[in-house]
A = this chain, B = another copy of it.
Amino acid sequence: MLKSGEQFLEELKSRKPVVYILGERVNDLTNHPVLKPSIRALMKTYDLALDPKYSDVMTATSHITGEKVNRFNHVAVSREDLVKRIELMRMWQHEVCACTMRCPGNAAINALYDITYRIDQKYGTDYHKRFVEHLKEIQKRDLSVGGALTDSAGNRALPPSKQADPDMYVRIVSEESDGIVVRGAKVPVGGACLNDEIFIIPARPMGKDEKEYAVAFAVPADAKGVIHVVQHNLIDSRSLVAEDIDFGNVKYASSFSAASLLILDDVFIPKELVFMKGETEFTGPLVAEFASIVRMNGAGCRSGLCDVMLGAAASIAEFNGVANASHIVDKLTQMYYLAESIFLPAVASAYYGQQAPSGVYLPNPSYAAVSKMQACDAIYEVAKLAIDIAGGLTVTMPSEKDYKNPEVKKYMDKYLHAADIPTEHRIRMFRLIESLTANPVLCAVHQGGGPIQAQKIVMWRGANIEEKKRIAKALAGIQE
């Protein structure tokens, strides 16, 4: 049931999605330098599940099949399931420190499990049954599943139905007897070209007259009409020219995250993979549940990344001989504080989570937003503190190729030496910090689960201002 990384790789080789990188069609995904670190990370999502040390967090017993499944494909049915997801993600950053490319898929699975149930309750449809059938397949085949929310969106000031081009949000362009045809684009979609399939859900609440946009479905990454145009950010540029040391994170390159512009160019989706079709009033709840899960899960990812930055900063301070300086200790303590300030509200969002009638356990949405807001507040500060401790060499280190030229190496060994450790260790640690503080990493943390204003809207919704006004008025002796 649980595959190994190698098995995943073998299957990946056999898939032929349409993928463009740097303007060229890629035929062998598994050998492209830009994708390699992400593929290693995806393989690790399998191998860690087979590792007894991690099986408690990496796997769960499916309440559908009773079988052991990868937790990424598991529907949470208890408070502990929620906390385990956060813990999984934090451990993941410690082990891999890159994107799993399976979180949005996990959020989509959990949210759709609930929303399909709710739609069926109202309309007597059979989405939930379809969905459960498909999920069994996913669990059984141990598929790697992505999730895509954000549409290309066009002019942000206008709703889907008012855009000059109606395709700015994914929509149904025609219906067939056995399915639908969809068009549009999602961007960015993390790791989609490497996933087995991707859940596509709406990015915003749709109005009553926007039925064609109220659509949710699964699509294989290599379905006809699906095109992936892969991102090219600074870490991707590095991938093209670097060897291992210069990755910093030597295996996984802190890769966030082989994301692509995912184009659906009139793709046929068979009925069995359609999980919402026109029920506009459920788009809002679907987005909300999906986002809450992403925020809660992501707290483990974000705090774990801060842990790694903390470990790297502490290491470089040690290598520089200043580990015990009071201002260094103070900054490291601040980094710890910020890491836990992301993690702990997410745990509490799980503690105050609730079981929906469908059976799925969902986190408290406001508290999940508090956790994400803490990450928005923290991640650039944590990076700054790491940079502050490490110093300018973080971005002025010569390359691994320099270090391999004996003429240059002798100088680097002499002059980049610090406290009593091999110079190469110090070079490696600077490279790791460079990689961790690169903008693809920071931006992924900041934007994943939505930017600042998205959190504020959710928090405002949960703030219960009227009750708090009532309390204040009572204390002030105001009788209305």
Rounded to whole angstroms, the CA-CA distance of A322 and B408 in the bound complex is: 50
Q: Is A193 an interface residue (CB 8 A)?
A: no
Q: Is A447 an interface residue (CB 8 A)?
A: yes
B-facing residues in A71-123 (Cβ within 8 Å): 83, 94, 97
Q: Which of these binds chain B: A4-12, A206-214, A433-441?
A: A433-441
Instruction: Check if B442 sits within 8 Å of A393, measured CB to CB.
Output: no
B-facing residues in A148-179 (Cβ within 8 Å): 150, 152-158, 165, 167-168
Instruction: Check if B22 sits within 8 Å of A399, measured CB to CB.
Output: yes
**CB-CB < 8 A to A447: which residues of B?**
387-388, 391-392
Q: Which residue of B lies closest to A367 (CB)?
A: B344
**CB-CB < 8 A to A432: which residues of B?**
472, 475-476
Rounded to whole angstroms, the CA-CA distance of A326 and B460 in the bound complex is: 12
Instruction: Check if B94 sits within 8 Å of A471, measured CB to CB.
Output: yes
Q: Is A23 an interface residue (CB 8 A)?
A: yes
Instruction: Check if A235 sits within 8 Å of B234, measured CB to CB.
Output: yes
Instruction: Check if A463 sits within 8 Å of B332, measured CB to CB.
Output: yes
From A249, A343, A402, A432, residue with most partner B Cβ within 10 Å = A402
Count of chain A residues with Cβ under 8 Å from any Cβ of B?
155
Q: Is A355 an interface residue (CB 8 A)?
A: no
Min Cβ gap A69→B in Å is 25
Question: Using an 8 Å CB-CB cutoff, how does the interface string of A367-402 with B read, 1 for contact, 0 for none?
Answer: 100110110100111011001100111111111011
B-facing residues in A310-352 (Cβ within 8 Å): 310-312, 314-315, 318, 320-322, 326-327, 329-330, 332-333, 336-337, 340-341, 343-345, 347-349, 351-352
Instruction: Check if B468 sits within 8 Å of A314, measured CB to CB.
Output: yes
Q: Is A185 an interface residue (CB 8 A)?
A: yes
Rounded to whole angstroms, the CA-CA distance of A232 and B231 in the bound complex is: 22
Q: Which residue of B lies closest to A326 (CB)?
A: B326
**CB-CB < 8 A to A419: which residues of B?**
155-157
Q: Which residue of B lies closest to A384 (CB)?
A: B380
**CB-CB < 8 A to A460: which residues of B?**
329, 332-333, 336
Contact (A248, B476) CB under 8 Å given A332-B465, A351-B348: yes
**CB-CB < 8 A to A2: which residues of B?**
none
Instruction: Check if B311 sits within 8 Å of A470, measured CB to CB.
Output: yes
Instruction: Check if B233 sits within 8 Å of A20, measured CB to CB.
Output: no
Instruction: Check if A398 sits within 8 Å of B20, measured CB to CB.
Output: yes
B-facing residues in A288-327 (Cβ within 8 Å): 307-308, 310-312, 314-315, 318, 320-322, 326-327
The 4 closest A-B pairs by CB, nearest first: A311-B468, A23-B401, A311-B472, A188-B396
**CB-CB < 8 A to A374: which residues of B?**
341
Instruction: Check if B234 sits within 8 Å of A438, measured CB to CB.
Output: yes
Rounded to whole angstroms, the CA-CA distance of A290 and B5 in the bound complex is: 48
Question: Using an 8 Å CB-CB cutoff, how does the interface string of A25-54 with B read, 1 for contact, 0 for none?
Answer: 000000000000000000000000000000
Min Cβ gap A95→B in Å is 8
Within 8 Å by CB of A340, from B83, B367, B478, lies B367
Q: Which residue of B lies closest to A439 (CB)?
A: B437
Contact (A315, B398) CB under 8 Å given A387-B446, A428-B477: no
**CB-CB < 8 A to A310: which residues of B?**
463, 465, 468
Min Cβ gap A216→B in Å is 20
Instruction: Check if B373 sits within 8 Å of A443, measured CB to CB.
Output: no
Min Cβ gap A322→B in Å is 5
Q: Which of these binds chain B: A56-64, A197-205, A268-276, A448-456?
A: A448-456
Q: Is A14 an interface residue (CB 8 A)?
A: no
Rounded to whole angstroms, the CA-CA distance of A245 and B336 in the bound complex is: 39
**CB-CB < 8 A to A330: which residues of B?**
326-327, 330, 456
Within 8 Å by CB of A232, from B21, B332, B352, B397, lies B397
**CB-CB < 8 A to A240: which residues of B?**
237, 240-241
Q: Is A223 an interface residue (CB 8 A)?
A: no
Within 8 Å by CB of A345, from B184, B345, B397, B459, lies B345
Min Cβ gap A305→B in Å is 11
Contact (A429, B156) CB under 8 Å given A341-B345, A384-B380, A439-B434: no
Q: Is A195 an interface residue (CB 8 A)?
A: no
Rounded to whole angstroms, the CA-CA distance of A432 and B439 in the bound complex is: 13
Q: Is A425 an interface residue (CB 8 A)?
A: yes
Q: Which of these binds chain B: A124-132, A278-286, A410-418?
A: A410-418
Contact (A167, B24) CB under 8 Å given A241-B237, A344-B349, A392-B444: no
